[in-house]
Amino acid sequence: MAPPGRLLLSAAVVLLLLAAQHPAAAGQQVGDACSSDAGCGAGLHCSPCGPGGDKICTRAKPIDPATHGTGLPFNNYTWLTTHNSYALAGAVSATGAAIISPTNQEDTVTAQLKNGVRGLMLDTYDFNNDVWLCHSFGGTCYNITAFVRLCDQLNILLSCVLKTINVLKEIQTFLDANPSEVITIFLEDYTAAGSLPKVFKASGLMKYWFPVDKMPKSGGNWPLLKDMISQNLRLLVFTSKKSKEASEGIAYEWNYVVENQYGNEGMVPGKCPSRSESPPMDSKSQSLVLMNFFTTDPSQTGVCGNNSAPLVSMLKTCHDASGNRWPNYIAVDFYMRSDGGGAPLATDVANGHTANSTFGTCVIPPPPPPSKASKPDSGGTKAGDASAALAQSNHQWSFFLGLSSLLALLLW
């Protein structure tokens, strides 16, 4: 099927030569030492994922899947997805309480969306006369486990989009400002009947709502991405509560999506079992595939390694387990952390297969493992958008060599 590793390697040598002819542009690159985000190039984040916990620049942004065009069915694209998108390290509960729950991400939903995250996993609870994003003890949300409101229902007359901080407002603001973007929400839903329709109606998001009756049954293709965009059906919402599909028009996730086991059990190399609620991974009655890859107890240090080679390796395992389908959603904790190309790279790799049939001819330039971590952070080199983008593309080419051997190992 794909070109042999040898071809990739010689292509990589050519790219390396090309890269050598381009002096590095301003801005630190993947794997370079840094002290803050401002010291890294565009699309990069400064994380303590280097050797010994040193801070290095890591990728935060996948290549926009739409660079492959928007003319394919939605199920031919792969979207970076954040697990518990709202559970931010260091967050104080919007109730004012100090939060004792584990956390899974480091930047706001707005910042995640700006980085290209397009799948959001949210746990919804009825709490304090509103719907909150929360963790629970025995199914109950408390001040000390409640992060933020999904929407501010108490102010329903003003509509939650006018209120201060709530996640649906962040999503609405982003969809309004970015008319070609599609977002998927996966709800781990603990709310009672009637709660969600109220907040979604108050959110100003219904105009983007992708209706259940347009979702493909029996594993058919989704509409073309460009048609979803032109029809403005740019918000997909899935719930974990089966009854809500018939009663509230919120799609029951596992009618449309197969999903592998989450947590430690889902991270065993070479295995990609489905989670208990999901049909088997190779069930063809669902046309979307979601891959979870995060530990049961989130760890900001452990994630650096897990979000790198093991993630890309699991992508292939889940592809094989899913009837040769590449995952459409790649869900991780701390998506900006890795000691290689991370979840953005895994997203690029999947899109290289599904969205672009010319993959293998070096159209995808992904950046893996850091090794020149000793360069000091030059700081103040944050360049304008154009040259920063150039810097990023240069570093991507120069990191191609490492990746090509990784890919050769994994995929061929």
- Binding site residues, ligand NAG, CB under 6 A: 67-69, 72, 76, 95-96, 143, 295, 299, 302, 305-306, 310, 325, 354, 356-358, 363
Which CB atom, from 21 or from 129, has the smaller least distance to ligand NAG? 129
What's the min distance (Å) between Cβ of 225 and ligand NAG? 11
Which CB atom, from 146 or from 196, has the smaller least distance to ligand NAG? 146
Residue pair 25/273 in contact by the 8 Å Cβ criterion:
no
Q: How far is CA 258 from CA 212, 252, 292, 298, in A?
A: 17, 11, 11, 23
Buried b (16+ CB within 10 A) or exposed e, 41-79: bbbbbbbebbeeeebbbbbbbbbebbebebebbbbbbbb
Query: In sequence order, what E strands does 234-349 have?
Result: 235-239, 251-252, 257-259, 288-292, 329-332
Residue 28's contacts (CB-CB under 8 Å, 6 or more residues apart) are 34, 39, 40, 41, 44, 57, 375, 377, 378, 381
Helix (H, G, I), strand (E, B) or coil at 225: helix
What's the min distance (Å) between Cβ of 354 and ligand NAG? 5
Buried b (16+ CB within 10 A) or exposed e, 100-132: ebebbbbbbbebbbebbbbbbbbbbbbbeebbb
Which CB atom, from 172 or from 307, has the smaller least distance to ligand NAG? 307
What's the min distance (Å) between Cβ of 97 and ligand NAG? 6
Which CB atom, from 207 or from 284, has the smaller least distance to ligand NAG? 284
Provide the CA 395 distance to its chain's centre, in angstroms.
22
What's the min distance (Å) between Cβ of 340 and ligand NAG? 10
What's the min distance (Å) between Cβ of 1 and ligand NAG? 11
Helix boundaries (H) for 124-189: 167-177
Which CB atom, from 244 or from 353, has the smaller least distance to ligand NAG? 353
What's the min distance (Å) between Cβ of 300 and ligand NAG? 9
Which CB atom, from 45 or from 68, has the smaller least distance to ligand NAG? 68
What's the min distance (Å) between Cβ of 398 and ligand NAG? 19
What's the min distance (Å) between Cβ of 143 and ligand NAG? 4
Which CB atom, from 203 or from 306, has the smaller least distance to ligand NAG? 306
What's the min distance (Å) between Cβ of 399 and ligand NAG? 18
Which CB atom, from 95 or from 274, has the smaller least distance to ligand NAG? 95
Residue pair 133/123 in contact by the 8 Å Cβ criterion:
yes
Question: Per the structure block, which two tokens stand in for 366?
Answer: 């992904």
Report the candidate in 84, 54, 14 with the shortest Cα–Cα distance to residue 335: 84
The torsion of the CA quartet 131, 133, 138, 140, rounded to 10 degrees, works out to -30
Residue 385's contacts (CB-CB under 8 Å, 6 or more residues apart) are 42
What's the min distance (Å) between Cβ of 160 and ligand NAG? 16
Q: How far is CA 123 from CA 21, 238, 346, in A?
A: 49, 12, 25
Which CB atom, from 185 or from 312, has the smaller least distance to ligand NAG? 312
Residue 132's contacts (CB-CB under 8 Å, 6 or more residues apart) are 94, 124, 125, 126, 141, 146, 147, 148, 149, 150
Which CB atom, from 231 or from 357, has the smaller least distance to ligand NAG? 357
